[in-house]
């Protein structure tokens, strides 16, 4: 093995090169992406040191979804608010941790972008040292050029297909930043010795088929007939090629999605008889992952329509999510239709 020629393309140089290649680029989106990358470096350090710095455990508060807020959730939310606020590039932001839209500071009200964020996804895994992540989707304001005087959630009711960029960070055995601006998916690994994200996964494409399915099987008594029959088919007859399938479920969307993107497979958090819309949130969980998967050659559906086609009418709206390798998602849809 040759360990002497590592990639020297940093996230910063990659983003700046893309900016130079585009005649219409103003550099504003680069500022947003670099601010998010800075935030993820800070949060990555927080995640690594959480046990030592007494940052594990609950705050005692509940978030807008009625879930217990962990100290690290709150920390990550504050970090991203601070770095994005300083970038001067967003006019409003939605965070899983905040009930209402967060408005930009005075002076930034003419900015072009709105951002949806899950600052720290997979909260139930924080205390047990299992991979967690950050997810974001960026949109252009439909009413660009006018000032907003107060937060307006309707700016976010555009539909995932309008995202101009989306990405996630996984805080795993290494920290990776994966993003797309609609021209392919690129993965960068944080080199903690120099504090830089280095390009390690250029133009990521997901396999058209896979042998891993990922879902919370404890919900199976409430699944639709189509979902139950599809999972049973994977267990008994394998994937569309007849290859034997295995089940893997971390319970952090970012971790389960990252594996699915790299290895192929299918992730499902379907709607069921108890929770018609499943569990995951559209703006900052489903839509960003859908943009990434489509750019990588995979598919994302709610079971009824493409995730990217859904237009939400609530900033914390939930949606079923079935996402992954093209052939597997298509087969899932066949089972839905015919059951
Ligand atoms: P969170 O944003 O509060 O952490 O919840 C979202 C997480 C996802 O990361 C994961 O896919 C899902 O919840 C797991 O849910 P469950 O425990 O019901 O399987
Ligand atoms: Mg989440």
Q: How many whole angstroms separate alpha carbon 311 and alpha carbon 261? A: 25
Which tokens go with 95? 């965070």
Q: How many whole angstroms separate alpha carbon 281 and alpha carbon 117? A: 10
Over the range 192-214, which residues count as b (16 or more CB within 10 Å of their CB) and which as e?
Answer: eeeebbbbbeeebebbebbbbbb
- What is the average per-residue pLDDT within 97-123? 81
Q: How many whole angstroms separate alpha carbon 327 and alpha carbon 298? A: 8
Q: What string of DSSP letters covers 241-301?
A: T----EE---S-HHHHHHHHHHH--EEEE---SS-TT-SSBIIIIIHHHHHHHHHTT-EEE
Pick the atom of ligand 1 nearest to 63's CA: 3
Q: How many whole angstroms separate alpha carbon 153 and alpha carbon 313? A: 9
Residues with CB under 6 A from ligand 1: 67, 96, 118, 121-124, 216, 251-253, 269, 279
- Percent of the chain having pLDDT more than 90? 68
Dump pLDDT digits (tens) for 26-48. Answer: 888 999 999 999 999 999 998 88
Dump pLDDT digits (tens) for 217-268. Answer: 999 999 999 999 999 999 999 999 999 999 999 999 999 999 999 999 999 9
Q: Is there a contact between 283 and 94 (Cβ–Cβ < 8 Å)? A: yes
- Which pLDDT does position 146 carry in this prediction? 61
- 51 vs 82, higher pLDDT: 82
Confidence bin at 88 (pLDDT 50/70/90):
confident
- What is the average per-residue pLDDT within 90-114? 77
Return the number of other C-beta atoms located less than 10 Å from residue 99's C-beta.
11
Rg of the chain (C-alpha set): 20
- Residue 102, phi then psi, degrees to nearest 5: -95, 125
- Which pLDDT does position 100 carry in this prediction? 83
The length of the chain, given as a count of residues: 339
Q: How many whole angstroms separate alpha carbon 251 and alpha carbon 324? A: 16
Measured in Å, residue 80 CA sits from the centre of ligand 2 at 15
Over 70: is that where the pLDDT of 144 sits?
no
Confidence bin at 151 (pLDDT 50/70/90):
low
Measured in Å, residue 290 CA sits from the centre of ligand 2 at 15
By mean pLDDT, which of 5-19, 60-74, 292-306 is the weakest? 60-74
Residues with CB under 5 A from ligand 2 (ion): 118, 121
Domains delineated in the chain: 11-201 (3.30.540.10), 212-337 (3.40.190.80)
Over 90: is that where the pLDDT of 138 sits?
yes
């Amino acid at each position: 093995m040759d360990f002497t020629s590592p990639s020297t393309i940093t996230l910063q140089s990659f983003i700046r090169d893309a900016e130079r290649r585009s005649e219409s680029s103003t550099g504003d989106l680069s500022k947003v992406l670099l601010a998010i990358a800075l935030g993820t470096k800070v949060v990555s350090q927080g995640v690594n040191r959480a046990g030592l710095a007494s940052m594990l455990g609950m705050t005692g508060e509940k978030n807008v979804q009625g879930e217990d807020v962990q100290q690290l959730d709150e920390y990550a939310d504050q970090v991203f608010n601070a770095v994005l606020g300083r970038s001067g590039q967003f006019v409003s932001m939605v965070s899983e941790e905040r009930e209402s839209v967060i408005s930009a500071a005075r002076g930034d009200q003419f900015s072009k972008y709105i951002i949806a964020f899950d600052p720290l996804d997979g909260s139930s895994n924080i205390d047990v040292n299992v991979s967690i992540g950050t997810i974001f989707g960026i949109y252009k304001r439909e009413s660009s050029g006018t000032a907003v005087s107060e937060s307006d959630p309707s700016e976010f009711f555009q539909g995932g297909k309008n995202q101009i960029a989306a990405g996630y960070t996984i805080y795993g055995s290494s920290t990776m930043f994966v993003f797309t601006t609609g021209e392919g998916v690129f993965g960068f690994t944080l080199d903690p010795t120099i504090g830089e994200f280095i390009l390690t996964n250029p133009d990521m494409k997901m396999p058209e088929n896979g042998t891993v399915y990922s879902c919370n099987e404890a919900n199976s008594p409430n699944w639709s007939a189509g979902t139950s029959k599809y999972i049973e088919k994977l267990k008994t007859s394998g994937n569309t090629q007849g290859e034997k399938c295995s089940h893997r479920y971390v319970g952090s969307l970012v971790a389960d999605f990252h594996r699915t993107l790299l290895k192929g497979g299918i992730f499902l958090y379907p709607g069921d008889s108890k929770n018609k819309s499943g569990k995951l949130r559209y703006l900052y969980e489903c839509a960003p992952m859908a943009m990434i998967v489509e750019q990588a050659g995979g598919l994302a559906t709610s079971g009824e329509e493409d995730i990217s086609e859904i237009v939400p009418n609530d900033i914390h709206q939930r949606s079923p999510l079935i996402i992954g390798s093209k052939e597997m998602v298509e087969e899932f849809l066949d089972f839905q239709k015919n059951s």
